[in-house]
Amino acid sequence: MTKAQTESLADKFIEKLREIAPDVDPIKVLRARAYKIQNANFLIRASNLGKNGKYFFGLNYITAEEIANLENSFVVFICGSIENSLILPSRILIDHLPHISHDRNGEYKINIDGSLRLILNGKNNRVECSEYINAWNLLTSPTKAVKSTAEESYHSVLQGRLLEIGNIRGYRTFCPNKSKVFNGAPLGQLANLDTCPNLQFSDYNLLRQIDVLWFREKDTKFIPEYAFEVELSTGTWSGVGRLATLIDYANTKLYVISDEFQKYNRVIRSFSEYKSRYIHIPTYLIGDLYAAERNLRELRYEIGL
């Protein structure tokens, strides 16, 4: 299926949804084709029936993980026409991903058979999905209350990824938002420090509010190596200000994670004396780095090196 055909099917699906409930909006913080309708969030994929009698969908793990971390979320697999749509809760897909083939880049080869059953590795291994076929009500009449916006959930995803990367690299990690969740686990469990170390040359009240911190432990001391502020729906001023409490630690790298580079530039000009200390990173690069770190860890484990 060409990209134009995929886009056409997705557009038709959105048009039909808007006939039922007009408030369908793109989720701007995600790069994938994802939308919000009422209290539901969903990702769209489309495919035609192949010569082997299967519908094939490529889906990167990072994209699947991001949508699965949104509350009340679904992956919509349009199989040939919008009247043949599998509206699958994202958690079901995530739970079955370990049993679906993928390459080293985390690209999963998702196949759905003519009866709209999810095909897993192994002979005749299928997941019955009949209750989710054309289940428009899951999107248009959600009964599950949503506590977090897409921006808030994605903020937690980025924090969780930064904690995981820091842990893989052997740092001591801290995050103040202990109850926020990433991949089903509270961020407080992912961080390997329960409390933020108190540093001699830093305002502790500001330090312990920084989104993610990586420390190197030396003897009984904690040395701040990396500090990260994630800025999505809020302004950049507060994050840059919190990071400034580490200015006296010359070797600490200070990162602002956002997709608003122009806004970041306007703010950082006001800190001209310390501008060189700050580094801006687009959010998607954190996803790319996280995927690479996970893949490298798995490869090391696989070959024992």
Confidence of residue 93 (pLDDT cuts 50, 70, 90): very high
Q: Which domain holds residue 202?
A: 150-303
Q: Are residue 116 and residue 79 in the same domain, yes or no?
A: yes
Together in a domain, 223 and 165:
yes
Question: CB of 143 within 8 A of CB of 155?
Answer: no
144 pLDDT exceeds 80? no
User: Is residue 62 domain-resident?
Assistant: yes
Q: Are residues 129 and 174 both part of a single domain?
A: no
Q: What is the mean pLDDT of the chain?
A: 93
The model's pLDDT over 169-217, given as tens digits with 9 standing for 90+, comes to 999 999 999 999 999 999 999 999 999 999 999 999 999 999 999 999 9
Q: Is 118 found in the same domain as 19?
A: yes
pTM of the predicted structure, to 2 decimals: 0.94
Q: What is the mean pLDDT of residues 280-300?
A: 94
The answer to whether position 145 is within a domain reads no
**Residue 44 reports pLDDT greater than 90:** yes
> Are 180 and 126 in the same domain?
no
Task: Looking at the structure, tell me whether residues 71 and 210 fall in a common domain.
Answer: no
Judge if 10 and 131 occupy the same domain: yes
Does residue 155 have a pLDDT over 90? yes
Predicted pLDDT at 248: 95
Residue 120 lies in a domain: yes
* pLDDT at residue 38, rounded to an integer: 87
Percent of the chain with pLDDT over 70: 98
Whether residue 111 has pLDDT greater than 90: yes
- What pLDDT, on a 0 to 100 scale, did the predictor assign at position 234? 66
pLDDT bracket for residue 49 (50, 70, 90): very high
Answer yes or no: do 113 and 197 share one domain. Answer: no
Verify that 154 and 298 share a domain, yes or no. Answer: yes
pLDDT at 85 over 80: yes
Give the pLDDT confidence score for residue 83 in this predicted structure.
95
- Residue 147: per-residue pLDDT: 83
Q: Residue 250 class from Cβ within 10 Å (0-12 exposed, 13-18 middle, 19+ buried)?
A: exposed
Q: Evaluate if residue 21 carries a pLDDT over 90.
A: no
299 located within any domain: yes
Calculate mean pLDDT across residues 30-45: 94
- pLDDT band at 43; cut points 50, 70, 90: very high
**How far apart are alpha carbons 108 and 92 in whole angstroms?**
15
Measured in degrees and rounded to the nearest 5, phi and psi for residue 268 equal -70, -25
| DSSP output for the chain | --HHHHHHHHHHHHHHHHHH-S-EEE-TT-SSSEEEETTEEEEEEEEPBPTTSEEEEEEEHHHHHHHHTSTTEEEEEEESSGGGEEEEEHHHHHHHGGGS-B-TT-EEEEEEETT-PEE-SSTT-EE--GGGBT-THHHHS--S---S-HHHHHHHHHHHHHHHHHHHTT-EEE-S-TT-EETTEEHHHHSS-SS----TTS-HHHHTTSSEEEEEEETTEEEEEEEEEE-SSS-SHHHHHHHGGGTT-TT-EEEEE-S-HHHHHHHHHTTGGGGGGEEEE-HHHHHHHHHHHHHHHHHHHHHT-
The tally of CA atoms less than 13 A away on the side-chain side of residue 105 is: 5
If asked whether residues 208 and 230 sit together in one domain, one would say yes
Q: Which of 119, 140, 161 is the last residue of a domain?
A: 140
pLDDT of residue 245: 96
Please report whether residue 260 resides in a domain: yes
- The number of distinct structural domains making up the chain is 2
Which pLDDT score, from 0 to 100, does residue 293 have?
A: 95
39 by Cβ neighbours in 10 Å (0-12 / 13-18 / 19+) ranks as: middle
Residues 115 and 216 in one domain: no
